Structure 1
C-alpha cells in the first residue's frame, strides 16, 4: 500500500515543512513523529561506508577504489560492490550511501578522479546503474554525485564550468541519465555556465525532474548551498549539513514574501518523504539484519582480494614474464611496497581494520627466504599522520595516539584512542560543550633518527616546550578538514613519549606525525641495486599518494613524485628482469617503459591490497582489467589538460572530444595507453565479425583464446561516425571467459543513447546520427581487430 505523501505534507505547517529540508546534524535528517517520519542517516561511501563520523569512527571495510573496480568493465562486479556496500550500510543503520561519484575523467590532472569511474560516459553510466541496483535492492539509497560538470577540485567552491549545451547533454549529463533510478542525487559545489549547481533551473528542474521524470531527491553537497529562494526555486530539495545553513527562517520568509511558492516547498518535502519511504524511515521503521559479515571476516577478505585483483590491468608483459614463476627469487623494492596506498584522500577515506602491504602479501605467498624487501625513495612532500606502529597510544599500546579534549576551564570533555593518529574536532563530537584545547599523546618507537610533527590549525606547544602557530594557507573552504597545515622537526634524540597541546577554535582535523628520518636518495637507490644482484626478478612498486589523489586538490603533473623514476631506471639497469607495479588510481608517466619487462597497474586496492597484488602477480587471480582512462604520453598531451580556473572559469573547450575521443581525432598526440587497453594472461584471435542491423545495431564475433591459461576477454565496439564534427565513441562491450584453445561466439549490443545527437537549435535530441561511418571491434583503440562498415 502506497502512502499518501501529499496528505502527510498537508498536515504540516510551513515551519515544520522547512525544518525537514535541512539536515539535523552533519549526517542525519530530522524526524517528525506526527507523520511517522524517523531519523534518516547518511554516510560517505565511494570506497566504504564510513558512518556518521568524518574521522575516527567505527572500523569499517575499505574497498578497492572506483577506477580499479570499473576496470573490470563488468556490470555484475558493480552490482556486487553495491550489494556489499549495502551490507556495510545496514550494519551501521545507514539509510543513504553518498555514492557513486559519476563525474568524468575530463583531464588526468583531476584530483578526485580516483572516486569516479571513467572518462567515458557510457561506461560510467552503465557501471553506476548496476552499483545503484546493488545498493537499492537491499533498501539502501544510492546518491549520484556531483551534478554536474564537477571535474576539477581547484577553487571548486567558487569556479564556473563553462560547457556548451551539446557537450553537457552528450557527455556530462549522460551518466546521470543512465543511472537515474538512484533515489537521490547530489548537486555540486561549482557553477555551471554562471549558475550555481544548487540553483540550476535548467539542469535540476527542466532536465532531471522534467525531461527525465526523476522522482527522487536532489540534495546539496556539504556546505554548497548559498541562497534560500534561488536554491529552493532551482530544484534543490535538501540542504546539507545541518542544523544551520541558508534555509530555515530565511526560506520561511521567502515563502511568506511570495518569492517561493509553498507548492514548491511541498514538492521538496514529498520527495524527502518518498526517499524515507523507500529506505524504511517512514511509517513502521525497518528492521536491520544482525548477522552481516564483519570488516575483518574471512568472507570479506576473500571478496575484497578478488574484487581488487580482477580489476588490476596488465599494461605490458614482454616474454610472458607475468605471472611470476613461484620458484623465482624476488627483490621487492619501493616505499609503496612497504606502505601500500589503499585509498585516496578526503571524504572517501574510512577507518579500516587493517591494510595489507604488497610486501606482506608477497612474503606470505613466497616466504621470507625467497623475497628480499628493500625500502624505496621518499614519495611525499607533505608529512602525514603516523602509520604502522611508529607511534602507539599509551592507553592501549596499539598503533595510534590518545587525544584528550578540554574546555576553556580545563575540564576534560572526552578521551579518544585514534588508530589513524588523527581526529576531527568540532564535527564528530558526541559530548555537549566547546573544545578549547586538545592534548595529543603517543609513545615513539624509533631505532634511529626520527621526524616528528603535528597537523592542524591552532597554537601548539610540543614536547620540549617549543611553541608555534599553524594557520590556514587560504586554499579554500574545507582546508581545515582536508588539507590542514603541518609542521615537522627532527629532534637530536627521539623522545620516548611525544606530547602536543593545541588551542582549538572551531572545526578542524588534528594529528601527530612520526616516522623514521628520511635517508639520502642516492643511498636508497644503491641499496636497491645491490638487492637485485642475486634475484631472478625485481618487482618495483611505485605510485602516487593522497597528496595527488584527493578531494580538494588537483595534480599539476603526471610525473611520479620524488625520485621514483630514477629508482626504476637504476633497478631496470641492474636486474635480470623487472616488473613495475603502479600503485595509483589514475594515469602516470612512465619514462622507463621501454626498459622494463612488465607493468601491472594496481589502482588503490583497498584493505586486502597486498594480498590482491600478490594474487595477480602470481596468477592465482587473473588481472583481467581494462583501462578506464587514456594514459597520455606526456604532460599536456591530452585533449583536455588544465583544471585551473582562469578568471574563475574552466572552459570545456575540447567539447565532446574528451580522452580517447580527442586522441582518435588527432587533437592530442598518440597516448601511451588507450582506454580499454589491458593484456590479461591470455592471447586472442578474432574472426567472423558480423553486423546485425536494427535501431541499435549489434556486432557478433568469435574470439579464440590462443594462450596457455584460462582468460577473460573484453570485446569492445566503437562507432566512428561519418560526420567530421562527431568523435569516435564507445557504443558497447561484453566479456567472456574462455579456456585455452577454445572459442566463444559473443554479441555486443550497441546502446541506442550513443546514436543520438543533441540539436542546439531545437534544444532537444534530434534524429539519430546520419547513416554511414564504421564500427571498430577492438581490445582498446590501440588494438583494433576488425572494422565493419
Structure 2
C-alpha cells in the first residue's frame, strides 16, 4: 500500500466540537442532521458553524447548481480511472476533483462509488471501479487520499451492496456473512485503515432484512471494527425511520429539510422514543466534519492550503483517458508484418471514421454522475485536428431510441418568473433539460410561478421533427409561433428520480426545412415534488430530428470505408442503456451497430473498432475486425486522447472486470429481486474472474486484467522473500511501453464453501524503454491468505500450500513460485 498523505485531525477538534454542541438546543441539533435543501446543511452562527455543501461526483463536481451556466470538468468514468491500475494517477485525479470542489465552494464530494461489478447488467457498472475487492480498495484509497489531502471530504458509497438498480429503494439483498466480509465490505475496510475517510453514504437497499440506514450491525462493523470515525449521510431519500436510523448511527438525512429528522426527531426525543444522547453523537460527528473542512470557527481546517485550479486540465484529462484505454485486440492484417495499431499518420491518405458516437461522443454515464463540461472533444474533432481532411466521416446508423432533450442546433436559455409576472435574467442551457434541484436561481422556490425555456432552433435536417416535454407539471409548448401543446403531465412513478431522468413525452410533429431558423418556447408550471424532497424544478424541452434511412446510412458508411486505407468505427451505448435508475436487460449494442461493424469490416480488412461504453458489451464481430480499443466513457477530452492513442501513444489500460462473449456465458446475471423483494447473492464469494475460473467451460472474451501494449514484454523471473514478491520483466519490443505487472495467489487449501483458484494480491504499473529490464516488488498482505469463517465469525488463515503467480492478466500468468507460510 502506498504511503498516502492523510490530513491529521488537530488536537483541539474534540474540545471545539463539545463547545459548539453545548451552544445548540435540541431543535437546532435535529435540524442540523436534516439538511436545509438538496445539497446544504444548516448554519448555526451561535455555535460558530457555517453551512456545509456536498456535491455529486465521481467524474466531476457539479456544485449546488446543475446548470450549463456553471460548467464542470468531466473526467473519465470510474471504470476508466480504475483501468489505469495506477493508484498514483488516481490520487492526482482526487487532487483535481478537490480543486474543482474548492472552486465551487463544495466541502464534501459524494464519491467514490466502491460497490462491485457483481454482474455486467448492473446499471451503474460504469460508476464503480472493479469486480475485484482488492483492486477496488486500492484505487478507491488513492481517490479518497487525493481528495482529502486537499481539504475536501469524501463519502465512501454506497454502504453496502448497492450493486444493482432494480427496485433499489426496496430490495433486500440476502448475502452470506463470508461474501459480505471478503467482497462487499473489504474495500470499505481497506480505505478506513489506510486514509481515514471523512464520510460514508448509506445505501437505499436492505441487507439481510434491515434497511442500510438503520443497520446497527453493519454500522458497528464500520465504526467499531474498521475504525471509521467520519460522518454518515443517507443516499438521497433513503432514510425512512427516525428512531431506528439515529440509533443505528445515521448522522445526516438528505436531502433537507423534509426528512425523518428535524421536527420528527425532536418529537421522538420529547416522547421518550429515543435519547438525546443519540442526537448528540450524530451532531458531534457533523461538528468534527465541520472542523475538518474549515466550517467551524475557532479551529483551523485539517488542510490550510486552498487550491482552486487544475493545472493544464485538458492535458491532464487526456492523460487519464490514454492510461485508461484498453487495447483488447491488435491483429496483423493479411499481407502485413506489423500489428494494426498504432497507425502511422504520415502514411494515411484517407481514414474513414464511422458511427454516431464519433461525431457526438458519449463522454459520461447517466444519472447523478452527470455534469456539464465546458466543452467536449469528440473522436471526429480529435482525429481531424491530427489528420485534417484526410478523415472522412459517415454516420452509419441511427441510434434513436426515444425522444431526448433538445440539443443539436438549439440555442436555449431559461428564466424563472415570479407569481407577480416579474421575469428574472435568463441563463444559458446546454440542452433542453432544466434541473433546478432544491433551488431556483435568484428566487426562493416558493416565489416561482413558472419557468420559460426560450430560444432558436436552426434546423439540421429536412423532414418531420418531433417536439415534446419532460417533467411533472403543466407545459405550454410553442414552436414557430404555434402552440403545439398546452396541458399537464402527471408524474405517476414510484421512483422520484424518474422526474430527473425519466423519458420524455411526444407532443407534436412539425415538418421543417434544413437551415430554417425556428423560434421555440416552453412555459412550465411545476407540480409538487415527491414528499421528502425539497421543492425542485425538473423539466425539459424534448426533440427528435427526422429519422434517416438506415439502409442508406450503412451503405454510405461501407462505401466510405471501402475507399479508405483504414476504417475506424466508434460504437457506443446510449443514455437509455447505461444510467443510474435501471439495470441493463442485455449486453447488446443498441440499434444496428453490430450489423454496421460487420459490413464495414467486410469492405475494409483494416477496420478498428472503438468501443465507447462504460461497461461490457457483446462483440459478435470481434473475429472480423483487425483491432478493438475500449475507451469507456472517456471524459470531455476523450476525442483528443483517442487520436493520440491511435497514432502512437501507448494505451495504458487493463480490464478491471471480465468481459463475457455473450450474456448467457456470464456467471452472475440475476439483478432482479424475487416476488418477495429479495435478491439472493447465491454465488457467495464467486463473482467476476473467481466465478469464471471455478465454473470452467466457456471462456470470456477478455479476462480480468487483460490489455495489450504497443510493445512486447518478457516475464523473466519471480522470487519470494517473506512477504515480498519480486518480479523481473523486460521490454522485448522496439518502442517504449507501459505494463501492469499483476500478482495473484493460488491456494491449495480446501475450505467450507470453496475457495478461489486465484485472488489478486498485488500489482504495479511500470514503464520501460526497449530492451530495459524492470524489477517490481509487491508486498503481500496477511489478508490475502485468509478467508472469513462463518462458523467462527472471524478471519482465518486458509492454511495449506500457496503459489504466487505473476503475469499480464488472470488468464495469462507466466511465472510462479511457492510461498512459505510461517
Q: TM-score by structure 1 length?
A: 0.94
- Out of 307, 327, 332, the residue aligned to residue 320 of structure 2 is 307
Match of 1:293? 309
Structure 2 CA distance for aligned equivalents of residues 382 and 80 of structure 1: 38
- Out of 747, 757, 776, the residue aligned to residue 721 of structure 1 is 747
Residues 479, 667 of structure 1: alpha-carbon distance in 2 compared, 3 angstrom cutoff: farther
Match of 1:155? 167
1:627 equivalent in alignment to 2:652: no
Match of 1:501? 523
How far 1:288 sits from its partner (Å)? 8.9
SS at structure 1 position matched to 2:290: helix
- Out of 120, 141, 160, the residue aligned to residue 108 of structure 1 is 120
- Out of 476, 479, 482, the residue aligned to residue 498 of structure 2 is 479
Match of 2:360? 339
- Out of 410, 421, 424, the residue aligned to residue 435 of structure 2 is 424
Match of 1:406? 417
Structure 1 CA distance for aligned equivalents of residues 342 and 591 of structure 2: 29
How far 1:165 sits from its partner (Å)? 0.8
SS at structure 1 position matched to 2:700: coil
Unaligned runs of 5+ in 1: 393-400
Unaligned runs of 5+ in 2: 1-10, 333-338, 529-535
1:366 equivalent in alignment to 2:387: yes
1:569 equivalent in alignment to 2:598: yes
- The answer to whether the 8 A contact 2:484-2:508 is kept is no
How far 1:57 sits from its partner (Å)? 5.2
SS at structure 1 position matched to 2:483: coil
Match of 1:549? 578
How far 1:471 sits from its partner (Å)? 3.8
SS at structure 1 position matched to 2:28: helix
- Out of 9, 33, 47, the residue aligned to residue 21 of structure 2 is 9
Structure 2 CA distance for aligned equivalents of residues 238 and 709 of structure 1: 53
Match of 1:640? 668
Residues 652, 29 of structure 1: alpha-carbon distance in 2 compared, 3 angstrom cutoff: same
How far 1:788 sits from its partner (Å)? 2.6
- Out of 679, 682, 686, the residue aligned to residue 711 of structure 2 is 682
Structure 2 CA distance for aligned equivalents of residues 198 and 422 of structure 1: 32
1:42-61 → structure 2 map (5 Å cutoff)? 42-56=54-68, 58-61=70-73
| 1:682-723 CA distance string (max 9 Å, x none) | 211111222223xxx332221111112111111111122223
How far 1:411 sits from its partner (Å)? 4.5
SS at structure 2 position matched to 1:779: strand
1:706 equivalent in alignment to 2:726: no
- The answer to whether the 8 A contact 2:150-2:306 is kept is no
Structure 2 CA distance for aligned equivalents of residues 769 and 175 of structure 1: 20
Q: TM-score by structure 2 length?
A: 0.90
Structure 1 CA distance for aligned equivalents of residues 484 and 328 of structure 2: 50
1:199-598 → structure 2 map (5 Å cutoff)? 199-204=214-219, 206-284=220-298, 292-293=308-309, 299-319=312-332, 320-326=339-345, 327-328=347-348, 329-368=350-389, 370-388=390-408, 390-392=409-411, 401-407=412-418, 410-412=421-423, 415-425=426-436, 427-430=438-441, 431-432=443-444, 433-446=446-459, 447-449=461-463, 450-463=465-478, 464-467=482-485, 469-472=488-491, 474=493, 476-487=495-506, 489-493=508-512, 496-506=518-528, 507-598=536-627
Structure 1 CA distance for aligned equivalents of residues 305 and 66 of structure 2: 24
> What CA RMSD, in Å, does the superposition of the two structures yield over aligned residues?
2.0
Structure 1 CA distance for aligned equivalents of residues 763 and 258 of structure 2: 47
Match of 1:397? none
How far 1:135 sits from its partner (Å)? 0.9
Residues 31, 425 of structure 1: alpha-carbon distance in 2 compared, 3 angstrom cutoff: closer
SS at structure 2 position matched to 1:674: coil
Residues 486, 309 of structure 1: alpha-carbon distance in 2 compared, 3 angstrom cutoff: farther
How far 1:667 sits from its partner (Å)? 6.1
1:666 equivalent in alignment to 2:695: yes
Structure 1 CA distance for aligned equivalents of residues 437 and 607 of structure 2: 49
| 1:664-689 CA distance string (max 9 Å, x none) | 11167321111100002121111122
How far 1:508 sits from its partner (Å)? 4.5
- The answer to whether the 8 A contact 1:50-1:57 is kept is no
Structure 2 CA distance for aligned equivalents of residues 669 and 403 of structure 1: 53
- The answer to whether the 8 A contact 2:69-2:429 is kept is no
Structure 1 CA distance for aligned equivalents of residues 802 and 307 of structure 2: 55
Structure 2 CA distance for aligned equivalents of residues 528 and 208 of structure 1: 55
Residues 425, 140 of structure 1: alpha-carbon distance in 2 compared, 3 angstrom cutoff: closer
Stretch of structure 1 that moved more, 271-280 or 28-37 = 28-37
- The answer to whether the 8 A contact 1:480-1:508 is kept is no
Structure 2 CA distance for aligned equivalents of residues 668 and 42 of structure 1: 47
How far 1:439 sits from its partner (Å)? 2.9
- Out of 65, 73, 76, the residue aligned to residue 64 of structure 1 is 76
Structure 2 CA distance for aligned equivalents of residues 629 and 106 of structure 1: 9
- The answer to whether the 8 A contact 1:437-1:504 is kept is yes
1:169-208 → structure 2 map (5 Å cutoff)? 169-180=181-192, 181-204=196-219, 206-208=220-222
Structure 1 CA distance for aligned equivalents of residues 172 and 544 of structure 2: 41
- The answer to whether the 8 A contact 2:477-2:484 is kept is yes
SS at structure 1 position matched to 2:404: coil
| 1:371-421 CA distance string (max 9 Å, x none) | 101113122412322334x111xxxxxxxx122433556443563321232
